[in-house]
Amino acid sequence: MEAMLQEQVEKLTSYEKMQKAVRHEYNSINNQMGVLIKNGKYHSAHYQKLAGKKATYRTILDLFTFYGLEHTVEEISK
């Protein structure tokens, strides 16, 4: 029983790390896109690649929300 509880704690810890990493990457992509927009590079291939990645990460965050596992938008922006 103790081993099963430890395994569940480890899985939850791993999940929380993954969720934090997804939020961090989403914010990083968003910031990079903002810099490109400021520099007038919103038609570049790099910007388009980031837009695709942002959409992917947004979908993942939306799934977290759908299943009641995501934080608020304000918390994501931290």
pLDDT digits (tens, 9 = 90+) for 36-66: 999 999 999 999 999 999 999 999 999 999 9
pLDDT at 1: 84
Return d(Cα 57, Cα 13) in angstroms, integer: 20
Q: Which amino acid is at 60?
A: I
Output the pTM of the full model: 0.80
pLDDT at 60: 95
Q: Which amino acid is at 73?
A: V
pLDDT at 75: 56
Return d(Cα 61, Cα 65) in angstroms, integer: 6
